[in-house]
Structure 1
């Protein structure tokens, strides 16, 4: 890295735009949002200015075009991760963990990989008070990738192509920005952007199908609008405690957004599913891992909503070969 690229980045003119409060703040042009976020990831923004930027965006919120610029910058700070030659990768972000219900992200990923679908799960190792997917993968005997190259090897495996990649390996810069939560007590823009990553190959829609979840129904409309105006190959669904895996207790809508189009792959069903499996009580790692092993071995049934989600993902992958990917609208 050159000395020029490490030079302090003057952020005041950007803070002046985004820091005027809820009613007075203005969104930055996409190019400026990209430049600012790149400087933040490169450690070129002073602590005082960085705190101001993080809080300003927390109050204002990111406009869709600002998120697009931030995502461009984030991709530049990810370790290179070559795409498998013949199959797109399913990319699963996992950053919330489980508070009350068992974390079934590893089950979803392992079901896909068992069927030969290259599956990349990226996320945090630890989250105080919650059970992360990375902790569960270790309990299940799935080694965490220590390098991007080891993730490439796992994704290209002839059988069980599964890679569990901690964010501090994929992008130390993003990981450091996520860690600011412990200092200021609030999430920041990095928590949104990291879930939008398509870290495989050249970051194109043809190389990976991203899973993305929302918590509040109104946010689905915002995300739909965003992904309709950006190159996308995304499955959007209401998640479970912020994770992308389907809720084992009820079926919800799953949409596929690609090339400016939207298709509902799974229609929502009111109420609980007819036959809810006996899930582990709470979030205990050992109990959840043991239950997941039973499901994978056939001793327990796959929860119907998760099985439906797996089928929808595989259908999208099958149809993706007939999609012509376009530039942004």
Structure 2
């Protein structure tokens, strides 16, 4: 008979903090979140602990301090090289109601000289159209490592990187979505990371209330960021609805509301036809909803880089009309 009491696993403390009953449980401090993520990135956590930790966070709803602490650990772990980037553009949601018009906005911005680092976590939910599935159609380069990212930005101003290539432990957590039955807070966290310290991080958070939390996390990190409730969860302004911008820069939070661009809602397409994106880019087809979504999303990006709203929309029209349609 073994009478020796087994030692507690070092990660157990973090599960206990989150799960110790209605009265005993609490959120993690920023330092605790940083330490917990260090364990996760090092692979020093049992699968049962990982699942419990992610679902307890999901049930509690992650705080700004937790998101900031997780990001602290991730940035230190990555030690990413210095690569000049204007916009960090996370793309993790996929689209199911409308085509991913944000991709044409990003291409037009890149054509005009803005350097965009776009990243995503794969097609993890059935019935959605993801950025990764559109790269070849739209001629967007996918880079597998940091040197390739740097080269693609120098040559094209736009590059996509799969999370699994530059942060495999986080990708594994995202891939648990179909095992756990729910998205975990990692889907939200990936939008905050801004691994290359871009001039501004754009974030889209679909669920109400989370936008302010993400803005506060970026403020705690000292980042410049704009958070919106983008169409379908992607960084795409919905022209049929008013859009609230949650911004932070130099430690100061600000808010701005953009009115809807259309007096009435557009009819949702019966199906998503990816080839239509390329046709609209080349000027071969027109799409009333898509056109407004593209212009508003370009304007959002320009607003994040310092232009006031009116000037950003005027500049968006110009940059869209001057895009290179042959690409």
Map of 2:203 onto structure 1:
212
Flag the 1:99–1:229 CA change in 2: closer, same or farther, 3 A.
same
Map of 1:68 onto structure 2:
68
- 2 CA distance for matches of 1:249 and 1:54? 34
Flag the 1:243–1:22 CA change in 2: closer, same or farther, 3 A.
farther
Flag the 1:22–1:283 CA change in 2: closer, same or farther, 3 A.
farther
Structure 2 residue 251 is the aligned partner of structure 1 residue 257 = no
Q: Is the 8 A contact 1:21 1:59 kept in 2?
A: no
Q: Deviations over 1:108-145 (max 9, x none)?
A: 21121011000111002323321101111222222311
Map of 1:107 onto structure 2:
104
Map of 1:307 onto structure 2:
295
Q: Deviations over 1:137-166 (max 9, x none)?
A: 222222311222111112223xx3111111
Map of 1:140 onto structure 2:
138
RMSD of Structure 2 on Structure 1 (CA): 2.8
Task: Say which is worse superposed, 37-46 or 254-263, in terms of deviation.
Answer: 254-263
**TM-score normalised by the chain length of structure 1:** 0.80
Map of 1:116 onto structure 2:
113
Of the three residues 286, 290, 307, the one matched with 2:278 is: 290
Q: Is the 8 A contact 1:237 1:244 kept in 2?
A: yes
Map of 1:150 onto structure 2:
148
Map of 1:269 onto structure 2:
259
Q: Is the 8 A contact 2:141 2:152 kept in 1?
A: no
- 1 CA distance for matches of 2:22 and 2:59? 6
- 2 CA distance for matches of 1:221 and 1:126? 27
Of the three residues 212, 217, 239, the one matched with 1:221 is: 212
Q: Deviations over 1:38-94 (max 9, x none)?
A: 21122110112222212221222222211111111222343724322xxx4201111
What count of residue pairs does the alignment treat as equivalent?
Answer: 299
Structure 2 residue 39 is the aligned partner of structure 1 residue 39 = yes
- 2 CA distance for matches of 1:262 and 1:298? 40
Map of 2:95 onto structure 1:
98
Q: Deviations over 1:214-241 (max 9, x none)?
A: 3244333333444444312111222011
- 2 CA distance for matches of 1:249 and 1:294? 24
**Matched position secondary structure for 1:155:** helix
Q: 1:276 offset after TM fit, Å? A: 8.0
Q: 1:28 offset after TM fit, Å? A: 2.2
Q: 1:174 offset after TM fit, Å? A: 1.2
Q: How does 1:152-167 map to 2 (within 5 A)?
A: 152-157=150-155, 160-167=156-163
**TM-score normalised by the chain length of structure 2:** 0.81
Flag the 1:225–1:73 CA change in 2: closer, same or farther, 3 A.
closer
Task: Say which is worse superposed, 14-23 or 89-98, in terms of deviation.
Answer: 14-23
